[in-house]
Amino acid sequence: MLSKLLRHEFRATGRIMLPVYALLLVSCGGCTLFGRLLGRYPESTVLSVVQTVFATLFGVTTFGMLLLTLVLMVYRFYKNLMTDEGYLMFTLPVESWKIVLAKALAAVLMIHISLIVGIFSIGILAGELTFLKAVPGFLAECFKLIGAGFKEDAGMTVHVILFFLEGLLAMIAAWFATVYHFYLAMALGQLAGNHRVAFSVLAYVGISSVFSIIMTALLQTYPLWEPVLERMDMTAAIHVTGCAFLLWQVFQILTEALGTEYLLKHHLNLE
């Protein structure tokens, strides 16, 4: 059932975001093309106007893509779970946490796709897509370096790979924590009846403040751990730091996910 929910979310978000991605690529391509033509014919007023139009369209579309990615994440959760559609969604033969998870997965994926499309469009705008051609060679070189590293110092190579994986997992976890942060704030906001939006904003700030207080309290315990860290070598200390950051993100995700699940199950107030 989770896979069906994911397909539904991807289709719903894709219908909106794919045209935006296409418009962004067309606008940056047009801006690049007419910019080159203007370089050859600098006195052409028509080319100057068209190039300005494409440049403006590119800027507006870029900002719109980033804003729409955020708005769509919030809107899909609110519309499907906080309005009349919630009556239908919560009659599905699936746990509510899976419904929320499907939305979170789709949101995180769309965030990364938007970032990739944004980077790609900047490459087109700069007229330099050689970085795309260099990607296969870069990956091949990375594998060569890893192979050589295992031959020279297998232990350190393993540490480097683990550093990378820890950073990647922490980044993905941070995005999920951000998405669930919004979800929990909206789940709290729906308790306020006619003042949902204002209370959701206050809830978002309040949740951030609570986590900041917890983080500050944890940092105050550093003197207790300092002797242990000082006895570690550099690689172990980096692993501990990376894992601690990852665990912090996981703690936020679990807290926000469980809080959202509890509110949706026991205190749901549909419009």
pLDDT tens track for 102-153:
889 989 988 888 888 888 887 777 665 555 666 666 666 666 666 666 566 6
206 compared with 147, residue with greater pLDDT: 206
Distance of alpha carbon 172 from alpha carbon 245, whole angstroms: 12
Are the C-beta atoms of residues 76 and 12 closer than 8 Å to each other? Answer: yes
Integer CA distances (angstroms), 255 to 28, 142, 151, 242, 250, in order:
41, 38, 44, 20, 8
Better-scored residue on pLDDT, 6 or 229:
6
Give pLDDT tens digits for 31-89.
877 777 777 777 777 778 887 888 888 888 888 888 888 888 888 888 888 777 766 77
For residue 254, the model assigns a pLDDT of: 93
The mean-pLDDT minimum among 88-92, 96-100, 197-201, 206-210 falls in 88-92
- What is the pTM assigned to this prediction? 0.81
Q: Is 232 left (phi over 0), alpha (psi -120 to 50) or beta?
A: beta
138 or 158, which is more confident: 158
The secondary structure element, H or E, covering residue 64 is: helix 45-82
Closest CA to 27 of 3, 59, 5, 49: 59
From 188, 205, 202, select the one nearest 82 (Cα to Cα): 188
pLDDT at residue 165 above 90? no
Q: Report the range of poorest mean pLDDT among 129-143, 191-205, 227-241.
A: 129-143
Cα distance between residue 33 and residue 266, in whole Å: 57
pLDDT band, residue 212 (cuts 50/70/90) = very high
Per-position b or e across 220-236, b if 16+ CB within 10 A of its CB: eeeeeeeeeeeeeeeee
Q: What is the pLDDT of residue 209?
A: 94
